[in-house]
Structure 1
């Protein structure tokens, strides 16, 4: 079945199409969520919420606005960021064990591992180092533009402009 046909069936509330979409996209979507939350149980919860949103909002997806996979990843990223801003999440992270911090430093959680997990390594490799940093902070670590500005000691306007330029460069590379 062609992806376009699968999406159309999802938009018509076909459960088998939804199941197939879940099979195709859930692993990579979980990877994006987990890279932001660093908590497997929470990431699984958010993953379920994301696919409920995909089911509920499928009719709103438009091919003209971008690729379906990108649409799902944006829902996932936003849901994960929303979770990190929740009071429950913040309270749960106040007393972290040393294992949590060791996990952050391990190679398996590196930026290159995350981008390879969702299949964009070859596209990211051609970007300038500043773009790699911005994408890491804004999309994989879930930072806001203001937080990224502070973390990189870069003016907020510069972060916004460079982010826009980096995304445009990625679009050119992907020919979207």
Structure 2
């Protein structure tokens, strides 16, 4: 089933479409969510929430503003960030055992693998190192621009400018 056929069925709220939607996008969305949440069970819950949001809010998708995949990816990313900032999630993370942090240092060195999970590794590799670092913080780790500014010890305005320029560079690579 093509994406266009899928969209038609989703708009009609055809139940078959939900299964196709899940089959087509669950792995890539879960990869992005799991990078941010870092807890498999919580990430699975967020994934379910994302698919419900996609289903319920399909009428807000506008083809003229961007690709469907980009739209659902933003839903996944934003839902993950909302989860990270929620009080319940933060309270549950305070009680984690040290076992959950064994691979933390190893994971921080896997930027290439995280980028590849959504299929843009080759394009991101073409960006300047500073762009890769900013994109990692803002889009893969869920930092706000203010948090990225503090992490990189750069003024907020500089982060905003770099972010805009880096995204424009990435867009140009994706047009090729």
Q: Same fold (TM over 0.5)?
A: yes
Give the drift of 1:18: 2.0
- Number of matched residues? 176
1:15 correspondence with 2:15: yes
Distance 2:159 2:8 in 1: 37
Match of 1:156 in 2: 156
Correspondence 1:1-176 to 2 at 5 A: 1-107=1-107, 110-175=110-175
Distance 1:145 1:87 in 2: 21
Runs (4+) of structure 1 exceeding 3 A deviation are none
Structure 2: segments with no counterpart, 5+ residues: none
Per-residue displacement from partner, 1:3-46 (whole Å, max 9, x unpaired)? 12211221121221221111010111011111011001110101
TM-score, with length taken from structure 2: 0.94
How large is the RMSD of aligned CA atoms in angstroms?
1.5
Structure 1: segments with no counterpart, 5+ residues: none
Contact between 1:37 and 1:43, CA under 8 Å: does it hold in 2? yes
